[in-house]
A = this chain, B = another copy of it.
Amino acid sequence: MNAYNFIKDSIIQGKYQPGMRLTEEYLAQELKISRTPIREAIKQLKTEGLIIPLKKGVSVRDFTKEDIRQIYDLRTLLEGYSAAQAAASRTEEDLIKLTEANLLYEEAINQYVEGDFDQIVKIVEMNQLFHDAIINASKNQHIHFHISRVVVVPIVFRSFYWYSKEKLKRSLDYHKIILQAIESQDTERARIAMHEHIYQGRDQVLTHLEDLKNDVSYKEETK
């Protein structure tokens, strides 16, 4: 794994906590490589908005409640559009891929027992696979670029910890509704179902944001 992916994953999974200062030297030692590749990774993460520049060094971005709201508003807009376009332009092959992705998502949810970190990683991955398949079916390559930058937010990943199995199943139900709408080429149904699906995700994050910020592992490493 390269420096960029290592640092990014560490941020997303919460190993490097929001507000934590990162220096090139520190990361170089951590990965046992020189500063050069570290600097590149930092530059990229800065461009993506996952870390923010300090006077010297950078710090892991801390997303506020307002940030979450704004990001989810955007995500709703983009993914809603994406779902509508997918409904309009989907091929038979797209449908097969969407169905497959959703089956994998279902499987991952069924195998989940509360607190299993690796399985959460899997669920997040499979969820993303489904959303990516929709973007793909929408036939707009550029939208993928933007959604991926809206979605990759540490708090979103960590929010999956707080999902009950029931809530995960409801999320799966929405995937099925969206898939159905795309299959029957009902663009507005697809858009609205996606809107609702994303907003339910947002509510989940907002509800547990306080819990997240009071999380022990969170506080200990940032002070």
Contact = CB atoms under 8 A, between A and B. Distances in A.
Interface of A: 39-40, 43-44, 47-49, 67, 70-71, 73-74, 77-78, 81, 140-143, 145-146, 149-150
Q: Chain A contact residues: over half helix, strand or loop, or mixed?
A: helix
Tallying the copies of this chain within the complex gives 2
A146 B143 contact: no
Contact of A39 (B40, B49, B77, B149): B40
A37 B142 CA distance: 28
Contacts of A44: 43-44, 47
A87 to B, nearest CB: 15
A70 B149 contact: no
Nearest to A77: B81
Contact of A47 (B48, B70, B71, B74): B48
B49 A143 contact: no
A49 B140 contact: no
A143 to B, nearest CB: 6
A190 to B, nearest CB: 15
Contact of A74 (B70, B73, B143): B143
